[in-house]
Every structure is written in C-alpha cells, then in structure tokens.
Amino acid sequence: MFLEIKDLSVKIENKNILKRLNLNINKGEVHAIMGPNGSGKSTLANVLAGKEDYEILNGRINFKDNDLFDLNIEERAQEGMFLAFQYPVEIPGVNITPFLHSAINSKRKRMNEEEIDNLSFAKLLKSKANDLGINIDMLKRSVNTGFSGGEKKRYEILQMSILNPDLAILDETDSGLDIDALKIVTDGVNKLKTNDNSFLIITHYQKLLNYIKPDYVHVMVNGSIVKSGGSEIAAEIEKDGFQKFQ
C-alpha cells in the first residue's frame, strides 16, 4: 500500500476533528475527497503534511513503508509528499527561485541523488513555468507575495511539478480560480500524473473533477469517510448536495 490511513482520530484545541478515518491509496491512483465546510478535509491534508498543531488521538498512517508519524514535516516532503496549500503563505523577502532550488536539492540529497546545479535548475524552472503559463518575471518575486489568488494556486502547481512528488495532496486548489486558470492548473496536474505517483484531491465541487478524473471519490462528513465509490458520487453531490450524507 502506498498510503494507508487506519482509524485516524485527531483533535485540535479540545475539538475532535477526525474520527476513526480510514483511507487507502495505491500507487498511480487519483482519489478525491469531497465534503461540506468543516468536515475535516483540510485537517486531514495538514496532518498528512505534518503540521504540528494537531494532537493524534488514535490510529496510524503508513506512507511508502514508513510510519508517517516517525517523519517530521521536511522528511515527509523529502520522501515525496507534497501539499498544495488552500491558502499559500506569503513570505516577503524570500525569492522564489533560490527557495525552490534549495527545496529540490534537499529532496535529492535525501534520495542520495546528485544536487541540481544553478544552470540546470534555471532551465527546468523556466520550462515548467512556461507549461503553466507563468510569466518568467514572476519568478523574480518573493514567495506568494502580492500574488493574486489564481497566481498563488498556479505557483503551488509549479512547485509541485518541480518537486515531482510521489503523493500530491491538493487542498481546494480550485477555490478562487476562474475557468481559464482552472484549466491551466488541472492541465499541469494531468501532465504530472504517471503510474508511479498518486493524488489526493480535496474539493467541494465536481467542477475540478471534470478536468482531473479521479479513480475514487470519498465523501467526508464530520471527520469520517461516509461513502466511497467512483465519479458517480461527485455527480450525485453536484445534484443533491451533502445533506443526504450527513
């Protein structure tokens, strides 16, 4: 199993968010989690990425034969996990290019791969930015600083395509995107998809899933997955909402 979440219960500030949640993802699969506001979707994404604000009450998570709880935030990233943030953080003064260069090299170092030099990295970055319709001038700016909502999401996908993760978690990447930006972002994701990597896509709406075809759709309500199936569930939610699952 690529990612196995077993009986996961999590709380934050005395509030139980995830309740005995189970989810298995195999290599090469695309899973979508849909759910109403406050159902715990972003908490799941943050817990997977290692955010330290949460208390794990119960359960375990295995990722690529590692106990995920044995890995800190950066080790998870270096092992191939990537979280595309719902609200990417603005970091004034940290330039995009050296930051991404350092990120890719920290991953390569852990994998005992040779570090990528400045010139090769610049070429890689330029070509990936072109693919995503990102203006080269944007790469001279500080991380997410002064970006529009759409630019931030595009930049998340640029980072994803540079870091080429084994498991990418997209936390409401579609929110705040107009239809053209959504197409660019989802094209970027589809280009990256292979039989060796997996995606966990968190969204409220079916719209995103029209562009990225999931193998499985899960409905998450009140901290647990209450129904799993294929794309037909997304259509069902689009038609009737989440009411019937609550």
Partner 1 sequence: MNIQDNYLKNKKNIFFSENKDIQSHREKLINIFENDRFDKKNNESLKNINLKNFIDFKYKYLIPEEKSVINNNEKNSYSIVSINGQCSSYKDDKIEITKILDEDYNDFSKNDIIENNDHFVNLNSLFLNSGFKIVIKKNNNIKIKISNIITDDDLTIFQKNNYICEEGSSLNLIEEYENRNNSTSNILNVIKLEKNSKLNHFLIQDNSPNHNLIITTHSSCKNDSTYTQKVYNFSEGYVRNFHYSELIEANSEADLQGIFFLKDNNTSNNKTFVKHLAEDCKSNQVYKGILNDRSKATYFSNTHVDQVAQRTEGYQLSKGVLLSDNASYFSKPELKIYADDVKCSHGSTIGPIDENAIFYLRSRGMSKIAATKILISSFINEELSSIDNEQMSEIINKKLVRYLSKVK
- Considering the complex, what minimum distance in angstroms separates the CB of residue 8 from partner 1? 19
Query: Which residue, 89 or 179, has its beta carbon nearer to partner 1?
Result: 89
Piece of 62-70, 97-105, 129-137, 186-194 that binds partner 1 (CB under 8 A): 97-105
At 165, list the tokens: 């993760």
Among 22, 71, 99, 207, binds partner 1 (CB under 8 A): 99
**Integer Cα distance of 35 and 186 in angstroms:** 20
The DSSP 8-state label assigned to residue 36 in this structure reads -
Residues 6+ apart with CB under 8 A from 197: 27, 28, 80, 164, 165, 166, 167, 168
Among 50, 188, 214, 223, binds partner 1 (CB under 8 A): 50
**Integer Cα distance of 235 and 239 in angstroms:** 6
- Considering the complex, what minimum distance in angstroms separates the CB of residue 145 from partner 1? 10
Among 6, 19, 20, 51, binds partner 1 (CB under 8 A): 51
Asked if 106 is part of the footprint of partner 1 (rule: CB under 8 A), the reply reads yes
**Residues in region 163-192 near partner 1 by CB under 8 A:** 163
Which residues are 212's β-sheet partners? none
For 135-154, the DSSP string reads -GGGGGSEETTT--HHHHHH
- Which chain residues interact with partner 1 by CB under 8 A? 49-52, 72-74, 76-78, 82-83, 85, 88-89, 91-94, 99-100, 102-104, 106-107, 110, 142-143, 159, 163
